[in-house]
């Protein structure tokens, strides 16, 4: 699509598509919250699936485009690299959104979030194990690993839904200093929509338009990104895990800052963990569209990215349990600072092992 264009033009196109993803992604998040409330989905399974799909439409578009063009290295790199960089978004929310206050994990404090982080780790472990299976065992390109990830994710969502309403071994109550109720941000969005007289029809139309823009921009990101990577001599895996993943994480940053501003710290965490748990489900999309199971095509670099995602998620799970109250450095908690350091070191390692 973009062959023959100069590098400068490609970069401008890439940045414009990233901006479109940013703006449309915010609209998607806002309208999906409203639709969830209007149709009574709430935090039931249907509402969780709708939110996961809406917040990951850029990644879906990139996966579809890469699958159709048989660029599985870009699809795999964007999925696994996206998990690591979206986890780093939490550190940015901690430093920027809560500068000078106790860390994000102090306010979020929720065992449900610990379970959500566990689901992210579980799905990634299944993906790593599935990458070791032979690609010859597949039906219409779908391998056993692709199916197992979808099943594992679905069961995990169902269990999370139950955990939000009843954990039989847990006494009811709120951790000292923690957020007292979940859903503050969504309630505020619903209130603002009612005050402005936004109808359900209008909300559906905005959601649909934002979806189209996000999908189109995602395809442009993948195609222009592939051309830029070729021009720079980067592998599709490395470009997908860094620049492409950063571009698709912009909506999460904006919606996360909005949630923190409204005091809905648990939502900020849940959006990241929920999106990260959903991303490996896209392997089945890449497999169907490319006609071959994606996971067996994963390289050592891809496994490295998955390991980095597990490592960063584990740090935040510990943070949610230990709840550091003081900021460590740069206005963020010690857990967020450790995540940033590990991500920087991990990216250096990623560049090193990506070299031929």
pLDDT > 90? residue 172: no
pLDDT-based confidence at residue 37 (cuts at 50, 70, 90): low
CATH of the domain at 71: 1.20.1420.30
pLDDT at 67 over 60: yes
In a domain, 1, yes or no: no
Res 44: pLDDT: 53
Q: What is the mean pLDDT of the chain?
A: 81
User: In degrees rounded to 5, what are phi and psi of residue 174?
Assistant: -125, 135
Helix%, strand%, coil% for the chain, nearest 5 = 75, 0, 20
CA distances to 9, 107, 230 from 237, in Å:
22, 36, 12
Whether 2 is covered by a domain: the verdict is: no
Domain count for the chain, please give it: 1
37-65 mean pLDDT: 70
Of 179 and 23, the structure prediction assigns the larger pLDDT to 23
Mean pLDDT of 200-217: 82
Judge whether 79 lies within some domain. Answer: yes
Q: Are 91 and 332 in contact (CB under 8 A)?
A: yes
User: 121-135, 240-254, 279-293: which range is least confident on average?
Assistant: 240-254
* Residue 129 pLDDT level (bands cut at 50, 70, 90): very high
Instruction: Tell whether the model's pLDDT for residue 353 goes beyond 80.
Output: yes
pLDDT given at position 73: 84
56 belongs to a structural domain: yes
What is the predicted pLDDT for the residue at 171? 53
Domain with 264 in it:
7-354
d(CA 175, CA 173): 7
Q: Which residue in the block uniquely carries the two structure tokens 């062959």?
A: 3
């Amino acid at each position: 699509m973009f062959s023959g264009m100069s590098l400068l033009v490609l970069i401008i196109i890439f940045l414009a598509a990233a901006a479109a993803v940013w703006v449309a992604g915010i609209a998607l998040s806002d309208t999906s919250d409203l639709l969830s409330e209007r149709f009574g989905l709430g935090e039931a399974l249907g509402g969780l699936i709708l939110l996961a799909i809406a917040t990951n439409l850029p990644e879906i578009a990139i996966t579809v485009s890469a699958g159709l063009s048989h660029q599985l290295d870009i699809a795999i790199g964007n999925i696994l690299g996206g998990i690591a960089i979206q986890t780093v978004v939490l550190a940015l929310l901690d430093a920027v959104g809560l500068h000078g206050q106790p860390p994000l994990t102090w306010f979020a404090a929720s065992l449900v979030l610990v379970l959500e982080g566990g689901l992210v780790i579980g799905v990634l472990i299944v993906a790593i194990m599935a990458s070791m299976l032979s690609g010859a065992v597949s039906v219409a390109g779908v391998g056993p690993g692709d199916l197992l990830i979808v099943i594992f994710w679905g069961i995990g969502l169902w269990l999370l839904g139950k955990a939000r309403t009843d954990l039989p071994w847990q006494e009811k109550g709120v951790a000292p200093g923690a957020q007292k109720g979940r859903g503050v941000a969504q309630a505020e969005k619903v209130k603002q929509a009612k005050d402005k007289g936004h109808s359900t029809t209008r909300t559906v139309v905005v959601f649909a338009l934002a979806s189209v823009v996000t999908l189109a921009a995602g395809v442009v990101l993948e195609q222009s990104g592939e051309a830029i990577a070729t021009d720079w001599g980067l592998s599709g895996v490395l470009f997908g895990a860094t620049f492409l993943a950063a571009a698709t994480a912009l909506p999460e940053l904006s919606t996360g800052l909005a949630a923190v501003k409204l005091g809905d710290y648990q939502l900020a965490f849940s959006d990241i963990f929920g999106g990260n748990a959903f991303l490996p489900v896209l392997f089945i999309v890449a497999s169907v569209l490319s006609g071959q199971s994606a996971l067996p095509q994963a390289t050592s670099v891809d496994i490295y990215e998955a390991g980095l995602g597990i490592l960063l998620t584990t740090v935040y799970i510990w943070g949610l349990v230990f709840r550091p109250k003081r900021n460590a450095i740069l206005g963020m908690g010690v857990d967020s600072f450790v995540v940033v350091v590990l991500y920087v070191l991990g990216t250096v390692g990623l560049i090193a092992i990506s070299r031929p």
